[in-house]
Amino acid sequence: RGIKIVLANGRLSDRTFKRYLHMKSLSQRLFNQIDIFFPKSKDEEQKFLKLGIKKAKINIVGSLKSDNSHPVPFTRSFLSIPSHKSVIVAGSVRKGEEEIIIRIFKALREDFNETYLIIAPRHLNRVSEIENILRKENLKYMKRTEKNSYNEEDVLILDTMGELRNVYSVADIAFVGGTLLPYGGHNLVEPAFFGVPILFGPYISNTKECALELVILS
């Protein structure tokens, strides 16, 4: 009926790209059904070109994630966190990373006992496992959904949806998950928006362009 098909914010993981490349003829027929491609970076453009997409169909627009409305900053008093605490926010933490982060945090507290951790799992079904790890490490914790005041806890588990981008605003330093293990990484723009120093691991294939820009700017 003449309706155009558009691929917006297009990205292919390295693994997916290799798969499509192995069956290039089929992939080319599939992608040629799409009229316009808006990849998020030059790297992504090169992947589509290697799969046989005509350059005339491709226009780089950057990541749409960085164009979201500005998040409202939270305050420490709103989260009932004492102002003298040094706050680490570990966001979008994936399975296998939780224990690593919590053990590093516990080791930090041996020298910096006023350090406070906010840990936000990527998936809320990991909350109970994080609780198990914290109990095993003898760390006091509270969940965001149960917290009304400061109760001498060491850790706040962010067991809510949609608040992480706001919570980054109270951090002295942030870690972005999915980067210590081969998940590809998550949104680095959210903590960067508040000027928070960011830590991330080596697995950044999903957010490579942003990571490189942050490293250069630092």
Tokens of 14: 């390295």
pLDDT at 16: 85
pLDDT at 35: 86
Tokens of 125: 């079904």
Q: What is the mean pLDDT of residues 48-60?
A: 87
| Sign of the torsion formed by the C-alpha atoms of 20, 178, 147 and 171 | negative
Domains detected in the chain: 6-62 (no CATH), 86-217 (3.40.50.2000)
Q: What percent of the chain has pLDDT over 90?
A: 60
pLDDT at 131: 98
- Does residue 70 carry a pLDDT above 80? no
Q: What is the mean pLDDT of residues 159-176?
A: 97
Tokens of 22: 């192995």
pLDDT at 69: 61
Q: Are 117 and 172 in contact (CB under 8 A)?
A: no
- Does residue 155 carry a pLDDT above 70? yes
pLDDT at 62: 65
Between 13 and 201, the more confident residue is 201
pLDDT at 218: 63
SS3 per residue for the chain: CCCCCEEEEECCCHHHHHHHHHCHHHHHHHHCCCCEEEECCHHHHHHHHHCCCCHHHECCCCCHHHHCCCCCCCCCCCCCCCCCCEEEEEEEECCCCHHHHHHHHHHHHHHCCCEEEEEEECCHHHHHHHHHHHHHCCCCEEEHHHCCCCCCCCEEECCCCCCHHHHHHHCCEEEECCCCCCCCCCCCHHHHHCCCCEECCCCCHHHHHHHHHHHHHC
Look up tokens 């980067």; give the residue: 179
| pLDDT class of 68 with cuts at 50, 70, 90 | low
pLDDT digits (tens, 9 = 90+) for 116-152: 999 999 999 999 999 999 999 999 999 999 999 999 9
| pLDDT class of 24 with cuts at 50, 70, 90 | confident
Between 17 and 157, the more confident residue is 157
Q: What is the mean pLDDT of the chain?
A: 90
* Distance, CA of 68 to CA of 64 (rounded, Å): 7
* Distance, CA of 103 to CA of 96 (rounded, Å): 12
